[in-house]
Structure 1
Amino acid sequence: MSRIGKKEISLPKDIDIQINEQHISVKGIKGELHYNLSKLIQITKTENTIKLIKKEQTQQAREIHGLSRSIINNMIVGVSKGFNKKLVIHGVGYRSQIEGENLVLNVGYSHPVSIKPPKDIKIAVENNTNIIISGINKEIVGQMAAKIRSTRPPEPYKGKGIRYEHEIIKRKVGKAGK
């Protein structure tokens, strides 16, 4: 039983939502997002709330019920406020910069690593070590942050690498000296 799917989604005043059978379009001040809802879910809209109802009581319908509610809620939050992910680079000589639209990372390899962001994503660099990824689609923002982090994930001995802002790295003890 999905507890998330049962919750109603409240609509802010500046959001315009269009429901055409199973296709949902959300438009706000930051942009526009679309989603195709499963045939197992029925959507109902009142003046300032949206409610999702399962058409069947199958396992798949229960799985998609909460997922669909979360996706639609994230679309509404994304077009009204947007999403941000912050990455921090730790390590001597590790730095990042923006060249044109691309993010260029110098993280200990023999060559700089260049990452081209998708069209909906904005990347900003502060102090050469702080990277801010922002956009309206939570999934794409998170995927881009994971891609940047995967170029040099933090290692457990010295903690060098790229990590999320409040990520805690479990440190290991090095070699025992004789």
Structure 2
Amino acid sequence: MSRIGNKPVQIPAGVEVAVDGNHIAVKGSKGTLEMDFYNKLAINVEDGVLTVSRPDDERETRARHGLTRALIANMVEGVSEGFTKSLELAGVGYRVQLKGTTLELSLGYSHPVTYPAPEGITFEVPDNTHIHVKGIDKQQVGQVAAEIRSKRPPEPYKGKGIHYVGEHIRRKLGKAAK
């Protein structure tokens, strides 16, 4: 029994959900997202509530039931509120600047690292050590944040690098800890 798949998705005011065969389109104030879902599942929209149901208990259908419901819930939340991932730079001389839609990162290399914003993603730089990645697609926001973090991942000895806000970096003592 899928507990996630059986939960109904509340559709807020201002969000339109259109189901056509095995294709769903969600339109809201921040944009539009579309997805093709597993053709055995049934999606019903009634009175501002979306439900996902499955016709049988086959392994594949059960596996995709909760997944489909979670993806649709993320689409509804994305077009109404959006998603944000926050990154922080730690290290002497590590800083970031926003030039147009491109991030310019100084990460201790001999050259600045640039990262252009993909379509559907916006960057906010409140100060020179913080980055906010914003967008309506949860997967894309997480992927872009992970790619930026991979430019200089945090290292365990001094904690220098790019890390998520609130992320705990396990520290090592180094060779002085005999």
Secondary structure of the 1:126 match is coil
Give the total of aligned pairs: 178
Shift of 1:138: 0.5
In structure 2, distance between residues paired with 1:55 and 1:35: 20
Deviations 1:110-145 (A, max 9, x none): 111111121100011121100000011111000000
Relative to the length of structure 1, the TM-score reads: 0.96
> What is the alpha-carbon distance in structure 2 between the residues aligned to residue 7 and residue 97 of structure 1?
43
Q: Which moved more, 1:79-88 or 1:57-66?
A: 57-66
Most deviating of 84-93 and 10-19: 10-19
Distance 1:127 1:39 in 2: 47
Task: State the TM-score, normalized to the length of structure 2.
Answer: 0.96
Deviations 1:15-40 (A, max 9, x none): 11111111111111111110111112
Per the alignment, residue 165 of structure 2 pairs with: 165
User: Are the structure 2 counterparts of residues 177 and 6 from structure 1 closer, same or farther at C-alpha, using a change threshold of 3 Å?
Assistant: closer
Percent of aligned pairs with the same residue? 47
Equivalent residue of 1:69, what SS?
Answer: helix
1:29 maps to amino acid = S
Q: Distance in 2 between matches of 1:31 and 1:97?
A: 27
**CA–CA separation in structure 2 for the residues paired with 1:110 and 1:60:** 50
The aligned counterpart of 2:130 is 130
Counterpart Cα distance in 2 of 1:39 and 1:23? 9
Deviations 1:88-130 (A, max 9, x none): 0000000111122111111011111111121100011121100
Matched, 1:83 2:83: yes
1:14 offset after TM fit, Å?
Answer: 1.2
Q: How many Å apart are 1:55 and its aligned residue?
A: 2.5
**1:172 offset after TM fit, Å?**
0.6
Q: Which runs of 4+ in 1 moved over 6 A?
A: none
Report the equivalent of 2:50.
50
1:140 partnered with 2:143? no
Residue 56 of structure 1 deviates from its aligned partner by 2.8
RMSD (Å) for aligned C-alpha atoms? 1.2
User: Whole-Å Cα distance in 2 between the matches of residues 96 and 171 of structure 1?
Assistant: 24
